[in-house]
Amino acid sequence: MYKIMIADDEALEREALCLFLKESSLEMSEIIECANGSEAIKCAILDRPEIIVLDINMPGSNGLQTLEKIKSLDYC
C-alpha cells in the first residue's frame, strides 16, 4: 500500500489527479493533498509519502525547489 502526496496550486488539478489515482489499480493507503510547496515540504516531513507528485509551476516555492528541499532533508 502506497501513501501518495499531490502538490498543486490548482484545486481542480488536485481533484482530477485524486480521481485518476482512486480509479487506478495502484494500491493506496492514503492520498495527501497540498496546495503549495511549503505545505508539501511540511507534509513530506510529517506523513512520509512513498510517492510525491509535484506541480512544477507553483507560486512561492515551485515544484523543483520543493523537490530539492525534500531531498536535502535526507528523506530517503
Q: What was the pLDDT predicted at 76? A: 54
What SS3 class is residue 52? strand
For the full predicted model, state whether its pTM sits above 0.85: yes
pLDDT in tens, 27-69: 999 999 999 999 999 999 999 999 999 999 998 889 999 999 9
18 membership: H or E segment, kind and range? helix 11-23
28-34 sheet: strands from edge to edge = 28-34, 2-7, 51-54
